[in-house]
Amino acid sequence: MRENTVLVGAFLLLCGSPAPCVRADVIVLAEGPAVAGLRCEYRAGPLGIDSSTPRLSWVLESAKRGVVQSAYRVLVASNAARLAADEGDLWDSGKVVSSESAQVAYAGARLASRMQCHWKVMVWDGRGDASAWSAPARWTMGLLDRSEWRGEWIGAEVAPEYAARGRA
């Protein structure tokens, strides 16, 4: 017993007090599950997504062992203000009972070329405890229809002497 008292005393002496020895981010995670690592088509904040049904992924984080996702809710909005107001004008998945957190297909309103999509996720763990909303993320759509491409090939013209020799 005396050895334990000495060890605890030495620990407190080294730290100054118990409070500085505890990391704040661990305390936050201990309260429940958290969502991080939002990705669209395997990338964080991608530009030029050319799929009309992009796939979304996220990671469940918890300081506790054995925590699993039992459900999720995805909100996708056309601007950051709507997303901040919890308004998924493009897609609100509602609570979906599923452990899936990788490559969840977007199933909302039709997406247009060059559109910015802002999104966030909330999950529930196996005990039914909900996380807070994740930090917001976004992706930008590319050109979805071939007719929208207006580019032309950029390059030097072939010199006449090479064209005549069949090297063009």
Express each pLDDT in 30-84 by its tens digit: 467 899 999 999 999 999 999 999 999 999 998 888 889 999 999 999 999 999 9
Q: Helix, strand, coil % (nearest 5) of the chain?
A: 20, 30, 50
> Which whole-number Å values give the CA distances from 115 to 39, 68, 134, 138, in the listed order?
17, 33, 22, 10
Question: How many domains, in total, are found in the chain?
Answer: 1
Q: Is residue 12 part of a domain?
A: no
Q: Is residue 55 part of a domain?
A: yes
Element at 12 (helix H, strand E): helix 2-15
Lowest mean pLDDT among 4-8, 71-75, 87-91, 147-151: 4-8
Q: Is residue 80 part of a domain?
A: yes
Average pLDDT over residues 11-22: 49
Q: What is the pLDDT of residue 13?
A: 47
Q: Is residue 156 part of a domain?
A: no
Q: What is the pLDDT of residue 147?
A: 84
Contact 84, 91 (CB under 8 A): no
Amino acid type, 39: R
Q: Is residue 3 part of a domain?
A: no
Residue 121 clears pLDDT 70, i.e. is over it: yes
Q: Is residue 113 part of a domain?
A: yes
CATH no. for residue 101?
2.60.40.10
Q: Is residue 152 part of a domain?
A: no
Token pair for residue 104?
A: 């969840």
- What's the pTM value of the predicted model, to 2 decimals? 0.70
Q: Is residue 100 part of a domain?
A: yes
* Domain assignment of residue 122, given as a range: 23-145
Measure the N-to-C terminal CA separation of the chain; round to a whole number of Å.
89
User: Which percentage of the chain shows pLDDT scores above 70?
Assistant: 77
Rounded distance between C-alpha atoms, residue 44 and residue 13, angstroms: 44
